[in-house]
Structure formats: C-alpha cells, structure tokens
C-alpha cells in the first residue's frame, strides 16, 4: 500500500516488535549506547545499509521514557536538539525524517503530541474535512482532565493552527457540539 521503503521499514518494526511497556525502567547504559549509535549514524559518510533502518531500530523499539532520556543525553553530549539535527539532516529522506522526528517529539513534548492528535481527529490540515467526531470526543475527554496540560494543549493548538479549539468544535452539531464546547471551554 506504500512504495516508501522508509515507511515500510517503520511499519515492519512497529508491527513485528512490541515496544517495552511504559512502566519498563530505563537502563542508563543502554541510553548512552543509543546516543553513541545515533551520533555515529548522523556522522556516517557512506553507509553500508540505509541509515534510516539503524535509526528506526533505536527510536521505534524504545518506550517514550527511554526516548526522552536519549533526547536529554544527546542534548548534553552534542549541545543540540536531536529532532532538529535529524530535521536538517540530508542523510535521511523526507519520510525517514518525519518518522524519526515524530517518535522523538511525541516522547518528549506531550503538548505537541496532543495537538497533533486533535488535528488528526479534526481531519488534519485539509480545507474541507469532517474529521472523526468519535475520535475527537475520546481525545478531548482524555486531555481535559489535567487542567494545566489541557490549557497548554489549547494554547499549542491555537499557536499551530491560528484558531481557537472552542471555535472549531462549535462547528459540530447537536448534543455532541454542546458536550465538546463544555469540555473545551475554561
């Protein structure tokens, strides 16, 4: 269904190998090894195997806590943000960069992750889209329970889309609209 070897590689890893559970403790020695390997991957001149596979072997097989630690150690070691280094790297295709950046940012920036999830539920960035009301309802119900986080998500949504989330859910109809407006309002 896709001709992208990078996406096929990522999907294969995601479907064949389960990530460690969220509660799995982070092993600092593995984090250090992962940072060293990522640094090596980013500085390889002529790879034997595609670089995205080596990067995905790390980023798609670790839980979010581990990835957050990788990001922290990388920043301490290199003095730069890992997601930005990958974003600017010419060693990876656009698809490979998107997969890697998404893995890092969803593990390290929960607000960014939740904003993207709301955008997806609302139908993405399409000009005309109905979105998925059930998915939107589920995500808003989960997010609104943590008041401080929810405030950040709404602010992040406005910053990213230049639109208030409350105004977007007002375009829905009926009881669903009333419930969403109540949950989204302060």
Q: What is the pLDDT of residue 77?
A: 93
Q: Which residue has the tokens 């090596």?
A: 40
**Distance from C-alpha of 66 to C-alpha of 62, rounded to nearest angstrom:** 6
Could you tell me which residue, 24 or 44, shows the higher pLDDT?
A: 24
pTM over 0.75: no
* Neighbouring residues of 10: CB distance < 8 A, sequence distance ≥ 6: 56, 60, 99
Q: Which domains does the chain have, with CATH numbers?
A: 5-108 (1.10.220.10), 111-184 (1.10.220.10)
pLDDT band, residue 143 (cuts 50/70/90): confident
Q: Strand, helix or coil at 57?
A: helix
What is each CA distance from 60 to 9, 21, 54, 99, 101, in whole angstroms? 10, 13, 10, 9, 11
């Amino acid at each position: 269904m896709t001709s992208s070897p990078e996406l096929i590689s990522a999907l294969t890893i995601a479907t064949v190998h389960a990530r460690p559970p969220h509660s799995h403790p982070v092993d600092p020695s593995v984090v250090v090894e992962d940072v060293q390997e990522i640094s090596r991957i980013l500085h390889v001149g002529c790879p034997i195997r595609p670089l995205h596979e080596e990067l995905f072997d790390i980023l798609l097989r670790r839980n979010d806590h581990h990835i957050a630690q990788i990001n922290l150690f990388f920043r301490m070691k290199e003095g730069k943000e890992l997601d930005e280094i990958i974003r600017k790297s010419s060693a990876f295709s656009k698809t490979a960069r998107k997969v890697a950046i998404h893995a890092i940012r969803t593990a390290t920036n929960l607000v960014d992750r939740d904003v993207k999830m709301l955008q997806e539920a609302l139908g993405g960035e399409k000009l005309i889209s109905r979105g998925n009301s059930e998915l939107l309802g589920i995500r808003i119900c989960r997010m609104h329970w943590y008041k401080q986080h929810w405030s950040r998500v709404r602010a992040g949504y406005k910053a990213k889309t230049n639109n208030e989330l409350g105004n977007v859910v007002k375009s829905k109809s009926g009881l669903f609209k009333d419930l969403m407006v109540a949950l989204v309002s302060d």
